[in-house]
Each structure stands twice: as C-alpha cells, then as structure tokens.
Homo-oligomer: A and B are copies of this chain.
Amino acid sequence: MPYVNIKVTREGVSRAQKAHLIKGVTDLLVTVLNKNPATTFVVIDEVDMEDWGIGGVPVEEWRARQSSST
C-alpha cells in the first residue's frame, strides 16, 4: 500500500520519462517489499527552478556557481 512522491525540477521531463519513473519505482517496491502494484501510488511533482533552493540560493544560481568553480 505504498505512496511515493517524487519531486524534481521542472526541466522538460517527458511523458515517457514519467511513465518510466512510475514503472521503475513500482517494480522496486514489488521486488524489495513484495507490495501489490494495484495499491501502489506514485505522484510526481515538477517544481519550478525559482522554487527550489540548495546551498542557500535558487538552483540555477547554485549550478552557475558549481560550473564556474571548476
């Protein structure tokens, strides 16, 4: 009876990729915990870049810093 929530930044995740995530997570729960797929929910949230922070700054600024530091 699992419920899985996947949050990723909104950067053009396709329908096929979402379907792949849903299948992969469900299969994993069947394999590891013998869960029933019929009562396994997966909910994907795409989060706008300006709404995701890491390192104290929005994610785009974080990535810019990471690239420039290498």
Contact = CB atoms under 8 A, between A and B. Distances in A.
Contact of A32 (B5, B15, B21): B21
Contacts of A58: 15, 18-19, 22
Interface string A9-25: 10001010111111111
Contacts of A37: 54-56
A23 to B, nearest CB: 5
Interface residues of A, number: 50
Contact of A6 (B2, B22, B31): B2
A8 B61 CA distance: 23
Nearest to A36: B55
B13 A33 contact: yes
